[in-house]
Amino acid sequence: MKVKELEEHPTFAAVLPPATSEEYDTTGWRAFKPVVDKEKCTGCLICWVYCPEPAIIRTPDRKIEFDYKHCKGCGICEVECPVKAIKMVKEV
Ligand code: SF4
Ligand code: SF4
């Protein structure tokens, strides 16, 4: 579908322009947030690959931390972590 067609049908869900997720603060979207257990984390970075947002940051020790400003609380990282080092916890 062309951009012009999308503009003519504003009820169609689309983000224009693409690759702008770093500009959005998604803090208010979450009911749950991911927390990593650094003792369990092996640094495989699978969570980083699967996260749909720029919300997982690689640390110098090849482990991870979260940028909660961009995390929308989808829980994909918890599901994909092979050693169950990530838990989704309720926002307070
Ligand atoms: S909960 Fe979703 S958006 Fe947040 S860090 Fe995990 S995969 Fe990324
Ligand atoms: S997927 Fe799990 S073990 Fe791998 S880097 Fe992420 S938190 Fe660490």
Q: Which of 11-25, 55-69, 70-84 has the lowest mean pLDDT?
A: 11-25
- The correct answer on CATH 3.30.70.20 for the domain covering 24-90 is yes
Name every protein residue with a CB atom under 6 angstroms from any ligand 1 atom.
34, 51, 53, 55-56, 66, 71-77
Candidates 58, 69, 74: which one to mutate for ligand 1, based on the most atoms within 8 Å of Cβ? 74
Instruction: Read off the pLDDT of residues 23-68 as tens digits, 9 standing for 90 and up.
Output: 888 888 899 999 999 999 999 999 999 999 999 999 999 899 999 9
CA distances from 53 to 19, 22, 67, 89 (A): 10, 8, 10, 18
Domain boundaries, the chain: 24-90
Q: Please work out whether the CB of residue 50 comes within 6 Å of at least one atom of ligand 2.
A: no
pLDDT at 1: 53
Q: What is the four-CA torsion angle of 44, 66, 52, 79, rounded to 10 degrees?
A: 60
**Which has the closest alpha carbon to 90: 75, 80, 76?**
75
Task: Tell me how far apart the alpha carbons of residues 78 and 33 are, in angstroms, rounded to a whole number.
Answer: 10
pTM summary value: 0.81
State the average pLDDT for the chain.
88
Ligand 1 nearest-atom number relative to CA 47: 7
